[in-house]
Structure 1
Amino acid sequence: MAALFLGLLIAAGLSILWLQHAMLENRLEASEFIAEELAYRIAGAQKDDLLPPSFERDELEDRKLFSDTEQPPAVYIIDVSGQILSASEPGTFTLMDSFPVALLNRNTDVLKLTDEVQGRSRLWMIKKPIEVEGLTFGWVVMVQPENELERLKEEYRLLAILILSLGLLGWAVIYLLSLRLAKPIGQVAEAAKQVEHGNYDVRLPDYVKEQEVHDLVHSFKEMAQKLEQLEATRAELLAGVTHELKTPVTSISGLLQAVKDEVVTGEEAKDFLDISLKETTKMQVMINDLLEFNSFSANALPVTSEQHEANDLIEDMVHQWKLGQEMEGVEVAVSLLAHDRILSIDPMRLQQILVNLLNNALHAVNPSTGKIEVVLLEEDNWLHIEVRDNGSGIPLEEQDLIFERFYRGEGKKYKVRGLGLGLPFSRLLAEAMHGELLLKESSPHGTIFVIRLPLLDQ
C-alpha cells in the first residue's frame, strides 16, 4: 500500500512539473501571437500618415482577454527610443518610463528578465516590432511574471481529483486482491506447520483463480506428498539395510558357535567355516558398495579417461562376466558395431556398470529359458550399449523409483541380497564419464537398459 501512494506522489510531482512547463510554453506562444497581431494592427493604422504609433485603450483591453490567469500581462507600446507611449494599466508591473533600447534590439522576441524595481525574479518579456514598409516605428511589449504564466489553479484541482481517484481505486483493488490471496496463503502456512511436525497429510484447495497462488499451492502439495513418500522409503530402506547386514551376522554367529561348541566336527565343521567365510565376503561387498557409493557421491573417487575400441572392449567385458557365472540354460549374446568406433572412458567404471546390468538381467530371467543380449548401436555420434533380457520386467509403479538410492523392488527384496545401490551407483558412474544410464523400456516380456556414451570424432 505504501508503494502505491509513493508511486502516486511521484506521478503527481512529475505531472505538475510537466503541466507547468507545457503551460508556460503555450502561454508564451499565445503572448507572441497577441503581440504580433497587435503590432500588425497598429502598423496598419499608421501606414497612410506614417505617424508615431498609437492606439485606443479599448483595443488594448480586448487583447488582454486571451489569458485565463488571475492577473493579465502588462502591455506596452514603445517607440524606437524606448519611451513608453501607452500601457494597459499604469504601474501594474513597472515604474519605469522607458525600456532599455539594448533589450529591444536583441535578436530574440522572448526574453527572461529580472524586475529590479519591484524585486521580482523571472519576468518574461515578449516584444514584436511595429513596422511600416520595412521601417520600424516602435514596439509592442508584453511583460508578465513567470509564476503567473505557470499558474494552474484549475489544472491542480483536476490533477488532485485524478490522483485521489486513482489512489482510492488502487486501494480497493489491493484490498480485494489481498482478501482473495490471504486465505490460500494462510492455508499453505498452516500446512507448513503440519509438515514441520511430521504430518504430511495436508488439506489444501485444488483450484485457486490466481495462477501464481495456484502454482504455490500445487507445488506445496507435491512437496508434501514427496516428503511423505521419502519418509516412508527412508524407514523401509533403513529396515532393509539393517536386515541385509543383520542376516549374515546372525548366520556367521550361529555357524561359528556351532563349531566352537563342537556341535559339528570334522568335514562338517570345515563346511560351516567355509559358509561363514562366504557370508563374511558378502557382507564385505555390501559394506564396500555402501562406502564406495558415498565416496563417489562426494566426488572422492576419481574417473580416468582412456581410449578403447568399443567392440573389443564390450566383448571382452561380457566374456569375463560369463566366466564367473553359473548359468546352464541362460543364453548370452553380443551384437557389435558394423564399424568399430573409439571410446574415451574409464574401462573399470564401465565394467562396473555393465556387470551390474548383466547381474540384474540374470536375476530377472528364467534359469532354463532365459536370454540376455548386449547390443551395440551408434546414433548421432553416441554409442548405445543396450542390455536386453526376456525376464518378467519391472512393474510400472516401480520404474520411476529404480534409480533411487537404497530402493529395492518387491520382486528382489526377498530373493536377492543387496542394498539397492547398484543402479543409482551405475548412473553416477555413467554421468561421470559424460554419458547416462536409462531404462529404455520394460514389460512382462523383458527389459532394456541403455548406457549412452559419447564417441570420439573420426
Structure 2
Amino acid sequence: MSLALVLIGLMTFSAWRNALAREVAQHERNEIIQDTARREQEQLALTSQLLESNPLPICMTDMHGRFLTVNDAWEQFMGLPRERVLGLRNSEFLPAQEAKAYDSHNEALLLSGGQVRYEERLCRPDGSVCDVQVTKVRLESRQGQPLGLLIVKMDITAFLAARDLAEQASRAKSEFVANISHELRTPLQSILGFSELGMLRARQHDKLIDMFGDIHAAGERMLALVNDLLDLSKMDTLIGAFQFERHDVRPIVLEVASELGPQLEQKRLVLELQLGSDPLIAKVDRTRFAQVVRNVLINAVKFSSEGRSINITAALEDTSRIHLTVRDQGPGIPLAELEAVFQAFVQSSQTSDGSGGIGLGLAICQKIMVSHGGSIYAANAPEGGAIFHIILPIAEFTHFEPATTVS
C-alpha cells in the first residue's frame, strides 16, 4: 500500500513537472512569437517609412498588376491619390495607350524574374511630357515564389536636356578647334618652307642660319601642337574609322624605336627592348597604336637624364592580354597626378618649364587605347622613374615572323 502511494506520488510529481515544463516552453514560444511579430511590425514600419520618404516615385503591384502600395512621390508624380488606385490595375484608371506603356515588360519580368531598366517618354496627368527611367524588379518569397513587382520611376528630363547641351557644346568646341587648326596650318607651312629656304641660302652666314634654324624649330613645335589639337578634335569621329587588323605588336614597337633613334642618340640614352621571341598578336590599327607607343616613348626620352636607359618590355599576361611597359629613369610623376596626366590640356608639374607641350599627347593615347578595348595607365617605379603600362586584348593566333629582340 505504501509502495503504491509512493508510486502515485512520483507519477503525480512527474506529471506536474511535465505540465510545468510545457507551460514554461509554451510561455517561451509565445514570447518568441510575440518578439518575432514585434520585429516584423518594426521592420514593416521602417520599410513603410523608407518608402514614404523616398523622393523617387515607387509603387508595388501583385501578380495581376493590382496596386498594393504607392508612396507620396508616386502620388505627386502621377497626380493621383493612392485611395483612387490601390486595388486597381493601370488599365482601370489610365487611358489604354498610357496603361500599355506603363505595363510594358511586366509579363516577361513576372515570368522570368530578375529586373529590367528602360527609358520611356510618358505623358503626365497635367498634359506635360517627360522622359522617365523605369526600373522594375520581381519580388519573391523566401521560397522563391513570385509575389509581384516593385516599380521605381525617375524623371530624367532635365538630365537628358543637360546632356544634349553638353554634347552640343562639345561638338561646337571640336568644330572650333578643327577649324582654327586648319587655319593655322596654312601659315605654318609657309613659315617652315621659307625658313628652310632661308637656311639653304644663308650657308655662308652662321648667324642667319641660326636665326632661320630657330624659326624652323619653333614652327615645327607649333605645327606639332596644331596637329595634336586637330587629332584630339577628330578622335571621337575617327574611332569608327579605325582599321583594326591582326598584327604582331613587337615589329610596331621596333619600328617606332628605330624612328626615334636620333633623339635617343642626342641624349646618349640606351634603349633596352625585351619583347620576347613569341608573337604578341593583337587586333590593332597599326598607325594609331604606333602613335601611342611613339608618344609614350617621346615622353620617356624627354624626362630621362643624359646617359640613362629606357626599358621597353612586352609579354603575354593571363593568356588573354598583352602587357607593354615603357620605363624611364626620370623624376617620375607625383602620385596626385598619375591619373590627371591623361586628361586633355593637363600636364605634370614636372613640365612646369613649358617643355611638355600643351598636354594632349597622353589624352589622345588614352582615347586610342579605349577604342582598342585596352587601357593605358602610369605608375612610379620603386627605384625611381615613371612606368607607362599599355594593355591590349589578344587576337586569335595567326602566323607571324618573329621579331628581333634588341638590348
TM-score grouping bracket, smaller chain normalisation = 0.3 to 0.5
Q: Give the TM-score normalised by the residue count of structure 2.
A: 0.47
| Structure showing greater Rg | 1
Q: Give the TM-score normalised by the residue count of structure 1.
A: 0.42
